[in-house]
Amino acid sequence: MRRKTLFLVLAVAVMSLLLAGCGGGDEKAQTSAEKEKVFVFAQGADPRGLDPAYVDDGESAKVMVNIYDNLVRYKPDSTEIEPALATSWEVNEDKTEWTFHLRKDVKFHDGTPFNAEAVKFSIERQLPPNRTDDMPYASFVFGPVKAVEVVDEYTVKIILKEPYAPFLANLAMCMAAPIVSPAAVEKYGDNYIEHPVGTGPFKFVEWKRGQHIQLVANDDYWDGRPKIDKLIFKFVKENSVRASELMTGSIDAMDGVDPNDVKTLEENGMIVAKNPGMNINYLAFFCNKEPFNNPKLRQAVSHAINRDAIVEHLYQGLAQKANGPLPPFLPGYDKDLKPYEYDPEKAKQLLAEAGYPDGLKLTLLTYTNPRPYNTVGQKLAEAIQNDLQKVGIDVEIKAYPWAEYKKVVSPVIVEEGDMMIYGWIGDNGDPDNFLTLLDSEEIVRSLNTAKYSNPEVDRLLEEGRREFDMDKRAEIYSELQQILVKDAPWVFISHATAMTAERPGIENFKLHPTGVIYFHDVDKK
């Protein structure tokens, strides 16, 4: 009992400090701290930004899904689509014209009205000639869009160039697709990325970089006011530090749980949720420059990495070895794929055949902070470094904080590295969402991190996007995945178990399959 009391005192003290800092010394906020429900969620890094048109990272997504709404959204526990800002929709017979009927009497957080013009604005800012290369998801979501037409104040028609099977699912994604306030974009200009205005359940208050982002409940939210009054995203780089803060009550919940901390958290009464992860953790070779424009060298390195040991020891079994780019439960997954297994002698043989009988020196780029698909952060790079050393490959590791890392690896030609560690959390449950990461058109927009290009892969991707029958799509994607395994632009490492941890007394806190947390229904007792 005394221990519980100590935790409660610590939690109240920390909440009060946070409220004082976030409220700019507002005495009323301080005196009402005990009455307000303040939820503190800790993640590993700051977002890159809060404009859905210009970001592509999970840290940004976790915040944005609570500020913005989309035309459609995913159901709480799946990627099944349901209405959001659009109450209904229909598509013509050849599936090239989508008509959306919009929700009425909805306002953006700045008080301006949501209507068909706002939808048109949000999409057209990401279409040519407005689209820029630093809009990483624009072509992915809106590439097939030919035009957007306002039918009336609450009806909008989106016309596609051709049928596109993932289109509706893409409109629910937290990147590119959320509807932004036209007035706010005009007001803030280039700084809108730090001043987001949506129609969602929470309103943006402030962002203190390296510390926290604060949101407050939208009292007028069309789907009902949130149960918590203030939502704080706290940025804590180290997994173990987040775990300690959870146990002492400084935070209410966290993601990026280190496998090594699970037992301690559970022994201290914390609730650790474990779910199959819709993600892929991989090593990407820069295929558009030497030395990894040589497929045989990519195959050699693939054989040199002990993926079984990484899953068993580094991730403590809280991950599944990947046999390709798709998680096992996703449509289109091919269980018969056979990626390059751990075989040091075969790796040495291929190294010699590739022209490196005496080994070579390489530079591996990585990030320092944990990621949902790689909860140990830089330790993965060190494990790969150790494996490659055993076959005569000397690896220098260059590690960066997440936001800086994104800038380093984004150019078409990455100057300072030969390969990189990266990963992906599925956005919408469609296989195209993973496979498009190997589309040559995505090299310039940075989604194709390996800078890999294969015309046959591009052709199969297009064929899969035009086919609405999932059984036929699966056949197309099986052929595509076999090519990817042979070409080895990635080493398919693992699919992480998706984990979050929370304190007792938290209700409706769930990690969505897309890797975000919708806080609208979250409550704390």
Domain assignment present for 191? no
Do 178 and 37 share a domain, yes or no? no
pLDDT digits 0-9 by tens, 285-334: 999 999 999 999 999 999 999 999 999 999 999 999 999 999 999 999 99
Average pLDDT, the chain: 92
Residue 217, pLDDT > 80, answer yes
Q: How confident is the model at residue 446 (pLDDT cuts 50, 70, 90)?
A: confident
Domain assignment present for 129? yes
The percent of residues above 70 in pLDDT, for the chain, comes to 94
Residue 497, pLDDT > 60, answer yes
Query: Domain boundary at 182, 210, 234, which?
Result: 182
Q: What is the pLDDT of residue 86?
A: 98
Domain assignment present for 360? yes
Domain assignment present for 188? no
Q: How confident is the model at residue 402 (pLDDT cuts 50, 70, 90)?
A: confident
pLDDT digits 0-9 by tens, 157-190: 999 999 999 999 999 999 999 999 999 999 999 9
Element (H, E) at 387: helix 379-389
pLDDT digits 0-9 by tens, 370-399: 888 998 999 999 999 999 999 999 999 999
Do 412 and 299 share a domain, yes or no? yes
**CATH code, domain with 111:** 3.90.76.10
Mean predicted confidence (pLDDT) in 89-109:
97
Q: What is the pLDDT of residue 256?
A: 85
Lowest mean pLDDT of 17-21, 342-346, 476-480, name the range: 17-21
Decide if 329 contacts 386 (C-beta within 8 A).
no
Instruction: Provide DSSP, 389-429.
Output: HTTTEEEEEEEE-HHHHHHHH-SSS-TT-SEEEEEEE-SSS
Residue 507, pLDDT > 70, answer yes
Do 303 and 206 share a domain, yes or no? no
Do 446 and 424 share a domain, yes or no? yes
Residue 457: burial class (beta carbons within 10 Å; 0-12, 13-18, 19+): buried
Cα-based distances in Å from 235 to 245, 397, 472:
12, 25, 44
Outline where 23-101 has alpha helix (H). Answer: 27-31, 58-64
Residue type at 493 in one-letter notation: I
| Dist. CA 150–CA 163, nearest whole Å | 21
Instruction: Provide DSSP, 275-325.
Output: E---EEEEEEE-TTSSSTTSHHHHHHHHHH--HHHIIIIISTT-EEE-SSS
- Please give the residue range of the domain that contains residue 120: 72-182
Do 490 and 433 share a domain, yes or no? yes
Do 36 and 155 share a domain, yes or no? no
Decide if 487 contacts 454 (C-beta within 8 A).
yes
Residue 346, pLDDT > 70, answer yes
DSSP helix/strand/coil, 511: coil
The percent of residues above 90 in pLDDT, for the chain, comes to 86
DSSP helix/strand/coil, 72: strand
Domain assignment present for 454? yes
Query: Domain boundary at 182, 210, 228, which?
Result: 182
Dihedral angle computed from the Cα positions of residues 307, 310, 315 and 316, in that order, rounded to the nearest 10 degrees: 100
Q: Which strands, in side-by-side order, build the sheet including 419-425?
A: 319-321, 490-496, 279-285, 419-425, 360-367, 393-400
Domain assignment present for 120? yes
- Residue among 12, 515, 496, 486 at smallest CA distance from 249: 12
Q: What is the pLDDT of residue 34?
A: 59
Do 296 and 397 share a domain, yes or no? yes
| Dist. CA 283–CA 452, nearest whole Å | 13
pTM beyond cutoff 0.75: yes
| Dist. CA 524–CA 511, nearest whole Å | 16
Do 461 and 389 share a domain, yes or no? yes
Q: What is the pLDDT of residue 133?
A: 86
Name the pairing type of β-strands 419-425 and 360-367. parallel
pLDDT digits 0-9 by tens, 227-277: 999 999 999 988 899 999 999 999 999 998 988 899 999 999 999 999 999
Q: What is the pLDDT of residue 227?
A: 97
Do 492 and 362 share a domain, yes or no? yes
Residue 5, pLDDT > 90, answer no
Domain assignment present for 440? yes
Q: What is the pLDDT of residue 372?
A: 86
Mean predicted confidence (pLDDT) in 120-138:
95
**CATH code, domain with 244:** 3.40.190.10
Decide if 373 contacts 496 (C-beta within 8 A).
yes
Residue type at 174 in one-letter notation: C
| Dist. CA 165–CA 146, nearest whole Å | 15
Three state DSSP letters for 193-227:
HHCCCCCCCEEEEEEECCCEEEEEECCCCCCCCCC
- Residue among 186, 156, 168, 196 at smallest CA distance from 52: 196
Domain count, the chain: 3
Q: What is the pLDDT of residue 6?
A: 34
Residue 91, pLDDT > 60, answer yes
Decide if 364 contacts 384 (C-beta within 8 A).
yes
Do 441 and 481 share a domain, yes or no? yes
**CATH code, domain with 416:** 3.10.105.10
Cβ within 8 Å of residue 351, ≥6 positions away: 297, 300, 357, 359, 360, 391, 392, 393
Domain assignment present for 193? no
DSSP helix/strand/coil, 107: strand
Do 10 and 159 share a domain, yes or no? no
Do 121 and 43 share a domain, yes or no? no
